[in-house]
Structure 1
Amino acid sequence: MDAVHPNIYEEFADFITSSPTLEEIANYRLSQASERYVSELLEANRTRGLTPEESRAIDDFMRLEHLVRMAKIRAIAKLDQQK
Structure 2
Amino acid sequence: MDIVYPSSKRCCCFTKSYYRYVKGTGSLLATVQPKEDKMCSLKELGLQYFTPREVANLHSLPEDFHFPKHITLRQRCAPSFLF
Q: TM-score range by the shorter chain?
A: under 0.3
- The structure with more helix, counted as a fraction of residues: 1
Q: Normalising by the residue count of structure 1, what TM-score does the alignment of the two structures yield?
A: 0.27
Q: Normalising by the residue count of structure 2, what TM-score does the alignment of the two structures yield?
A: 0.27
Of the two structures, which has the highest relative contact order with CA contacts closer than 8 Å and spacing of 6 or more? 1
Q: Which structure has the bigger radius of gyration? A: 1
- The structure with more strand, counted as a fraction of residues: 2
